[in-house]
Amino acid sequence: MGMKRILSSVILIPILYLIVWYLPPGYFVILVVAAAVMGQSEFYQMAQGRVTRPLMVLGMILGGLLVVLMAIPGKQGMLYMALCLLLVMLARLFSSRPVDGAMEDMAITFLGVFYVAMLFGFQVAIRRMSADGKYWLVFMYLVIWASDTGAYYAGTNLGRHKLYPKISPQKSVEGLIGGVLAAMAAALLCRVWFLPVLTVKEATLLGFILVVAGTLGDFVESLLKRSAGVKDSGNIIPGHGGMLDRMDSMLFAAPVLYYYLGMR
């Protein structure tokens, strides 16, 4: 891995760990709101270079509020989603922009709120589920990061067969296998370290499930970047690119873990 990528990880991972593990949940909510808004900004800027002009400010405000809402127990979600839809449509209706492109503008604005902010919000939903929420969050982060590392080294040294070249030419079947094995090892380590409620079988299975979800999230973001004609979603994190580049796997892994825990 590049030196910038390693240095960024060395600095950011301990900060994230301290916020999740030691500070009250409100600090984590603030962190996720900030990350979601940055991710939405990157998403809207990618889309804005094409044929659409999303309602960026409104979308980011609604996205940030949606993350906060997901930190509060209750069933306000459907009402808030309906309000989001109405506000975006009314804002576009009474804007000074031409009628042409209105459908695309609204669709991209909605997608930014729900693809980026809502999926980010599942992290705060996991945090508030129970007193063990912070443990499950750290579990997810370590599993996904281990998967990324394992996939990188296995793909670099052993990669021969392309996994999905139309979307991500650099990813290989061998890299995926390396990522799965590293994720399973991380899940078992987490079981020994701080999650003894997991059985060996469950830890292994959950590690595999999160890798599959994270890989799909990675592919979706790659699809969006290819559609927009960009290499990275941004450059806010040296060596990693943008916020979406760093968190794309988490966007899919977090809701999977949330509903898994709900059924557990």
The string of pLDDT tens digits covering residues 114-153 is 999 999 999 999 999 888 999 999 999 999 999 999 999 9
Q: Which of these, 215, 203, 147, lies nearest to 178 by C-alpha position?
A: 147
Residue 240's pLDDT band (cuts 50, 70, 90):
low
Q: What six digits make up the tokens of 156?
A: 């670099």
Residue 7 has pLDDT above 70, yes or no: no
Look-up: residue for tokens 């459908």? Answer: 103
Q: Which of these, 48, 105, 41, 67, lies nearest to 244 by C-alpha position?
A: 41
Span between the terminal Cα atoms of the chain, in Å = 37
Tens digits of per-residue pLDDT, 150-201? 999 999 899 889 999 999 888 999 999 999 999 999 999 999 999 999 999 9
Instruction: Rank 3-17, 220-234, 246-260 by mean pLDDT and report only the highest.
Output: 246-260
According to the model, what pLDDT value does residue 47 have?
87
According to the model, what pLDDT value does residue 134 have?
94
Average pLDDT, the chain: 90
According to the model, what pLDDT value does residue 5 have?
58
According to the model, what pLDDT value does residue 236 have?
81
Determine contact, residues 45/253, Cβ cutoff 8 Å. Answer: no
Burial call 188-220: b when 16+ CB within 10 Å, e when fewer: bbbbeebbeebeeeebbebbbbbbbbbbbbbbb
